[in-house]
Amino acid sequence: MTEDQPYAGAESARTGVPAVDAVLAEVDGAVDLPADDQVAVFERAHDRLRRALDGQADDRADDQADDQADEPS
């Protein structure tokens, strides 16, 4: 692999989760940036993905609490 050739499977990944897909698109665009600028993009992506995953965990916990509240005692 050289810098001029994209790696195998360089197609953009899509998850169907808009917040995650936006982060992936930003990371895809970082390939043309200088290395120092890429680091900033990756750090920002990490933070945004962590928040997205934390939000999904919160949503699942809310769903589980709702399910338990619906169960007869």
CA dihedral 31, 34, 40, 45 (to 10 degrees): 0
> Does residue 13 lie in a domain region?
no
Nearest-angstrom CA–CA distance, 27 and 42:
7
DSSP string, 39-57: HHHHHHHHHHHHHHHHHHH
- With CA atoms as reference, report the closest residue to 24 among 12, 39, 8, 36: 12
Residue 53: per-residue pLDDT = 83
> Does residue 5 lie in a domain region?
no
Residue 23: per-residue pLDDT = 92
> Does residue 9 lie in a domain region?
no
Residue 1: per-residue pLDDT = 46
How many domains, in total, are found in the chain? 1
> Does residue 7 lie in a domain region?
no
Residue 8: per-residue pLDDT = 45
* Domain, as residue range, for 63: 18-68
pTM of the predicted model, to two decimals? 0.57
Q: Walk along the chain (73 residues) in steps of 10 and give the mean pLDDT of each run.
A: 50 80 92 94 95 75 62 59
